[in-house]
């Protein structure tokens, strides 16, 4: 949040992102249903040099078909 009476480029308010999630990868989404998934998901598939993560075995199977 910026206040007109507070500088935004100071040690207390750096211009770079900071705090929880700063610099973190964007949330992953199941490419079939769009549900949020984690890299910890047991449902994964490597395709064209990328790893895709799925919410369920059903979505993984649909993607691989």
Question: Does 51 map to a domain?
Answer: yes
Question: Does 32 map to a domain?
Answer: yes
- Tell me the C-alpha distance between 52 and 55, whole Å: 10
Strands 36-37 and 28-29 come out as: antiparallel
Q: What is the residue-level pLDDT of the chain in tens, covering all 65 positions?
A: 555 555 555 555 555 455 555 556 678 999 999 999 999 999 999 989 999 999 999 999 998 77
Q: Is the dihedral of CA 5, 10, 13, 14 positive or negative?
A: positive
Q: Are 39 and 22 in contact (CB under 8 A)?
A: no
Domain that holds residue 55: 28-64
Question: Does 47 map to a domain?
Answer: yes
Q: Residue holding tokens 């990328």?
A: 50
- Tell me the C-alpha distance between 34 and 63, whole Å: 12
The domain tally of the chain equals 1
């Amino acid at each position: 949040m910026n206040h007109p009476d507070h500088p935004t480029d100071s040690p207390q308010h750096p211009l770079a992102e900071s705090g929880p999630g700063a610099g973190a990868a964007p949330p992953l989404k199941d490419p079939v249903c769009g549900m949020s998934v984690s890299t910890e998901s047991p449902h994964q598939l490597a395709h064209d040099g990328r790893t895709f993560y799925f919410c369920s075995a059903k979505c993984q199977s649909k993607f691989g078909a």
